[in-house]
Structure 1
Amino acid sequence: MRLFFYVLNKTEYLDTLLDEFAHNGINGATIIESTGMAKILSSKYDEDELPFLASLRNFLNPERENSYVIFMIIEDEQLNKVVDIIENIVGDLTQDNNGVVFSFPIDYAKGIKRNGK
């Protein structure tokens, strides 16, 4: 099993992603609304106070207020399928603003239903 995370920047795709996960037997996701550090700092400080903000502003999407962090426990063999679903909907994750994925192996879990078990 793996604990899988996806930071979804393009929040308009949330429902589509969740629907596609469900249609592929990938269930049990939790979604948390989030805001990145750069976004918060850019709203609190001027460029002269934190000079690196000038370069960060070029990468920030001012229309986007928040992101979503989607996390879920998946089977190891589902990892590639989950990433494929994400990239088919939001685009190549190596491109700017399409989000970030990462996962960790789980060495202990209790109370999780796994494929009807």
Structure 2
Amino acid sequence: MEKKVLFIIVLNQTELLDELLLKFNDEVGQAATVIDSVGMAQHLSQLYEAKIFSTIKPLILSDHTENKTIYSVIPEKDMDLARETVKEVLRNIKKPDTGIMFAVPVLFQEGIRD
């Protein structure tokens, strides 16, 4: 079996979702799943809205209220291509409130077409 990785993108700039999925499909050629997500700091800020935390909230939180988490099982050999594709769309992933990406090894897969 060819080595695979689970490639994960947490996209804060949700307005780039369509562009990212189209480019990912064109360049990497793999299917992906998208789920709605929210960061821990954003969630906690809702819990502590009335507390002192709200005074520092603007310093640590962005204006976005949700993220999109995209994950795809891809061949390990395509990981660099996937990373470059994401960077092209996001332009500067190191900028705060843009997103993150990472990959983890896939030990096995079932139900995924090759």
- Class of the TM-score when normalised by the shorter of the 2 chains: 0.7 to 0.9
Q: Is 1:5 equivalent to 2:22 in the alignment? A: no
Deviation at 1:92, TM superposition (A): 2.4
Residue in structure 2 matched with residue 59 of structure 1 by the alignment:
60
Structure with the larger helix share? 2
Query: CA–CA distance in 2 between the matches of 1:25 and 1:35?
Result: 26
Secondary structure at the counterpart of residue 111 of structure 1: coil
Identity %: 27
Deviation at 1:15, TM superposition (A): 0.3
Q: Which runs of 5 or more residues in structure 1 are unaligned?
A: none
Do the aligned partners of residues 25 and 91 (structure 1) sit closer, same or farther apart at CA in structure 2, a change above 3 Å counting? closer
Could you list the per-position Cα deviations for residues 76-106 of structure 1 after superposition, in whole angstroms to 9, with x for gaps in the alignment? 1111111111111112222211211111111
User: 1:13-28 maps to which residues of 2 (within 5 A)?
Assistant: 13-28=16-31
Greater shift after overlay, 86-95 or 31-40? 86-95
Q: Which runs of 5 or more residues in structure 2 are unaligned?
A: none
Do the aligned partners of residues 25 and 94 (structure 1) sit closer, same or farther apart at CA in structure 2, a change above 3 Å counting? closer
Structure with the larger strand share? 2
Residue in structure 2 matched with residue 103 of structure 1 by the alignment:
103
* AA at the equivalent of 1:34: S
User: 1:14-53 maps to which residues of 2 (within 5 A)?
Assistant: 14-45=17-48, 46-48=50-52, 50=53
Query: CA–CA distance in 1 between the matches of 2:6 and 2:112?
Result: 12
TM-score normalized with structure 2 length = 0.85
CA RMSD across the alignment:
1.8
Could you list the per-position Cα deviations for residues 20-57 of structure 1 after superposition, in whole angstroms to 9, with x for gaps in the alignment? 01112422100000111111111221342x58x71x53
Decide whether the 8 Å contact of 1:20 with 1:85 is kept in 2. Answer: yes
Alignment coverage as a number of residue pairs: 110
Decide whether the 8 Å contact of 2:28 with 2:82 is kept in 1. Answer: no
Decide whether the 8 Å contact of 2:27 with 2:85 is kept in 1. Answer: no
